[in-house]
């Protein structure tokens, strides 16, 4: 089991998402909550450095870092993809 640690930028991103699309925000919270049991789900992508990963939920991306020593997942950013 991992502990979720929300960084201010991620909280702000989730708040902005919730104000524009409540359903998408709910889906993102569910996806992030699942990281407690599986910090490296098959639908996440490693990004260069050891613990940095990206998780996609619809049009929203979550950038997070896994710390296996502390058993923590640091949620760094939450944001929509603009195409």
The pTM of the full predicted model, rounded to 2 decimals, is 0.91
Q: Which residue matches tokens 């919270």?
A: 29
Predicted confidence (pLDDT) per residue in 32-51, tens digit: 999 999 999 998 999 987 78
- Tell me what the pLDDT averaged over the chain comes to: 93
Looking up residue 32, the CATH number of its domain turns out to be 3.30.2310.20
Predicted confidence (pLDDT) per residue in 56-75, tens digit: 988 999 999 999 999 999 99
Complete edge-to-edge strand list for the sheet that includes strand 44-46: 3-6, 72-80, 60-67, 52-57, 44-46
Domain residue limits at 33: 3-80
Q: Name the DSSP class of 41.
A: -
Instruction: Give how many domains the chain has, as a whole number.
Output: 1
């Amino acid at each position: 089991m991992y502990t979720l640690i929300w960084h201010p930028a991620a909280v702000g991103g989730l708040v902005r998402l919730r104000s524009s699309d409540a359903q998408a925000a709910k889906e993102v919270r569910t996806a992030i909550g699942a990281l407690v049991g599986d910090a490296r789900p098959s639908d996440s992508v490693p990004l260069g450095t050891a613990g940095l990963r990206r998780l996609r939920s619809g049009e929203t991306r979550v950038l997070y870092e896994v710390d296996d020593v502390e058993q923590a997942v640091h949620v760094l950013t939450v944001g929509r993809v603009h195409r």
